[in-house]
Amino acid sequence: MAKKVYTDYFFDEPAYNTHDGGYIPLITPKVEPQPLAIPPLLKPDRQTATSDYYTVTAQESTTHFLPGQPTKTWGYNASFLGQTIVFREGKQTHIDLKNDLPELTTFHWHGLNVPGPITDGGCHAPVYPGETNHIDFKVQQPAATLWLHAHPCPSTATQVWKGLATMVIVQDAVEAKLPLPRNYGVDDIPMVLQDREFHADNQFDYRADYDPDGVQGHTALVNGTVNPYFDVTTQRVRLRILNGSNRREWRLHFNDDLAFAQVASDGGILPAPVYMTKVMVTCAERDEIVVDFGKYHVGDVVTLMTDETALCQFRIKDFVPDDTKLPEHLVDILDEAPTPDVPVRKITMDGMDDEVALNGKKFDMQRIDARQRVNDVVIWEIRNTNSCKNGMVHPFHVHGTQFTVLSRDGGPVYPNEHGLKDTVGVNPGETVRIKVKFALTGVYMYHCHIIEHEDGGMMAQIESYDPAHPQTYHLMDMETLRNAFAKEQGVKPEDVWMPGC
Ligand code: C2O
Ligand code: CU
Ligand code: CU
């Protein structure tokens, strides 16, 4: 039976960011192709049979993106973005979170099921300059591509723009048995997709570029590389694609419409590979795709595009036969029935620009907006109230869990949405149902992942509670953060620039 190959982006075309007034098109950079940077794997400080110990340092440095001046950047154990961190399912993981920046930051483990609000690293868990916090957790979820990024309110967008984002890979025994490429940096390639604007002397200037609907730049970066190429053989290659952009959606396809197989989404391996020639990745989503270069010849070049702009060239360097076939079935996804008698949780993502809100309200760090009993399986219904004519796709993200997508406007979900996810793009005017369970207690944020929208208040928080063990949480407040930023910047608290506030 011939495999079905999907040839569209699934999302509503009128909502693509190319149709928004503030859209900034990508411009092909005038620099020679450069080898794609592969972030090194972060070395553990120490490992035992049951535990891994890491130190993650947020640091400032400079990075050569373009000829001429280096750019002032931030990163995790690196000058920009970071080293890739590997977690192993079942292991006790101990991490020192070290802040060598001149500003407070937080370390948010996007997609990782760890207790909120502190271990999770949202706005309630600042690490002040010069300080080190420590977290411990057990990795209890399937193999997946996750990420770490800064999440201080309301400066998440600024800090991510400077470079505070890096890939996290969870490994487990199930994924290890599948016939998938997994030689990191050789045939298993991280691809962090971002865009940036370069100002005088090649510097970033977030404030100059600020747009409450999301900051964009004219230059695409893959792992921080401008105009990258990557040498491959005729074997299959796995691309771990992470949309690490503040606002840009990526609409990926190859220049010759080469079909590929999506094998994983945010939370891990899909139940079955999905064959496609195009995939759209909204902010914070991850898609792993397997690309088979078997039909090419040495010397051929295949280009990964986003819309009409070239993103990364794959240069076929060598012939290596590869007849591995992807199985028709990959993994089983646990599908639990909703807990009886628990009402559907209704959420609206409202507005654009400065008007953004969630359920009509702006985010308040001190307010717990909703409660859900730990281990309950609850249907959440998320509606994007933007107009279908000129609204945006809002990527809805929940901390501390991986959910399943049930329906779009009562109909089927997209073919690549049958796995676990922590972020789902909702079209303007659309209603998406998801099924959410928190396996741990804590306070968790949920929000639009256009980062300027979350900083602007399209965000709320939920307590996952255990009636037998009530807890109280120390929640951060704006004044404390504002005063801390003021002290660090040497300005009066009222002069601290807090975009979106
Ligand atoms: Cu990437 Cu609040 O998260
Ligand atoms: Cu998150
Ligand atoms: Cu949004």
Q: What does 116-128 look like in DSSP terms, one character per residue?
A: TTTTTTSTT--B-
Among residues 267, 252, 250, 242, the alpha carbon closest in space to that of 192 is found at 242
d(CA 169, CA 144): 6
List, as ranges, residues with CB under 5 A of the ion ligand 3.
Answer: 394, 448, 450, 453
Tell me whether strands 345-350 and 378-384 are parallel, antiparallel or unpaired. Answer: parallel
| C-alpha 352, offset from chain centre | 21
CATH tag for 36-172 (out of 2.70.50.30, 2.60.40.180, 1.20.1250.20, 2.60.40.420): 2.60.40.420
Q: What is the structure's pLDDT at 73? A: 98
Atom number of ligand 1 nearest to Cα 459: 2
DSSP letter, residue 207: H
Atom number of ligand 1 nearest to Cα 423: 1
Q: What is the structure's pLDDT at 3? A: 84
Tell me whether strands 394-398 and 378-384 are parallel, antiparallel or unpaired. Answer: unpaired
List, as ranges, residues with CB under 5 A of the ion ligand 2.
Answer: 110, 399
Q: How many residues does the chain have?
A: 501
User: 288: which residues sit within 8 A by CB, 6+ positions away?
Assistant: 145, 238, 239, 240, 241, 262, 263, 264, 265
Q: What is the structure's pLDDT at 19? A: 73
How many Å lie between the centroid of ligand 3 and the Cα of residue 348?
A: 11
17: pLDDT confidence band, cut at 50, 70 and 90? Answer: confident
Ligand 1: which residue has its CA nearest to atom 3? 110
Among residues 17, 26, 24, 63, the alpha carbon closest in space to that of 227 is found at 26
The mean per-residue pLDDT over the stretch 292-320 comes to 96
Within 13 Å of residue 390, how many CA atoms lie on the same side as its CB?
Answer: 8
3-state secondary structure 359-409: CCECCCCCCCCEEEECCCCEEEEEEECCCCCCCCCEEEEECCCCEEEEEEC
Same fold, 5-14+181-318 and 36-172: yes
Residue 399 corresponds to which amino acid? Answer: H
Burial track 417-431 (b if 16+ CB lie within 10 A, e otherwise)? bbbbbbbbbbbbbbb
501: pLDDT confidence band, cut at 50, 70 and 90? Answer: low
Q: What is the structure's pLDDT at 249? A: 96
Q: What is the structure's pLDDT at 499? A: 81
How many Å lie between the centroid of ligand 3 and the Cα of residue 376?
A: 27
Domain ranges of the chain: 5-14+181-318, 36-172, 345-473
Work out the mean pLDDT of the chain and round it to a whole number.
96
pLDDT tens string 89-142? 999 999 999 999 999 999 999 999 999 999 999 999 999 999 999 999 999 999
How is the beta sheet containing 268-276 ordered, strand by strand? Answer: 5-6, 268-276, 260-265, 286-292, 236-243, 188-196, 219-222, 225-226
Pocket of ligand 1 (CB under 6 A): 108, 110, 122, 149, 151, 284, 397, 399, 445, 447, 449
pLDDT tens string 79-94? 999 999 999 999 999 9
Atom number of ligand 1 nearest to Cα 149: 1
Residue 18 has pLDDT above 80, yes or no: no
**In the chain, pLDDT over 70 holds for what percent of residues?**
99
d(CA 297, CA 316): 7
Q: Does domain 5-14+181-318 have CATH number 2.60.40.420?
A: yes
Among residues 151, 179, 170, the alpha carbon closest in space to that of 240 is found at 170
1: pLDDT confidence band, cut at 50, 70 and 90? Answer: low
User: 289: which residues sit within 8 A by CB, 6+ positions away?
Assistant: 238, 239, 241, 260, 261, 262, 263, 279
How many Å lie between the centroid of ligand 2 and the Cα of residue 458?
A: 14
Architecture per CATH, domain 345-473, reads as Sandwich (2.60)
d(CA 101, CA 440): 31
Q: What is the structure's pLDDT at 20? A: 67
Residue 75 has pLDDT above 70, yes or no: yes
Residue 382 has pLDDT above 80, yes or no: yes
pLDDT tens string 328-353? 999 999 899 999 999 999 999 999 99
Ligand 1: which residue has its CA nearest to atom 1? 110
For residue 190, what are the β-bridge partners? 240
Residue 272 corresponds to which amino acid? Answer: A
Ligand at minimal distance from the CA of 458 is 3
Structure tokens at 387: 């107009």
Q: Comparing 322 with 343, which gets the higher pLDDT?
A: 343
Residue 287 has pLDDT above 90, yes or no: yes
**In the chain, pLDDT over 90 holds for what percent of residues?**
93
CB atoms within 10 A of CB 41: 15
How many Å lie between the centroid of ligand 3 and the Cα of residue 109?
A: 20
Residue 168 has pLDDT above 60, yes or no: yes
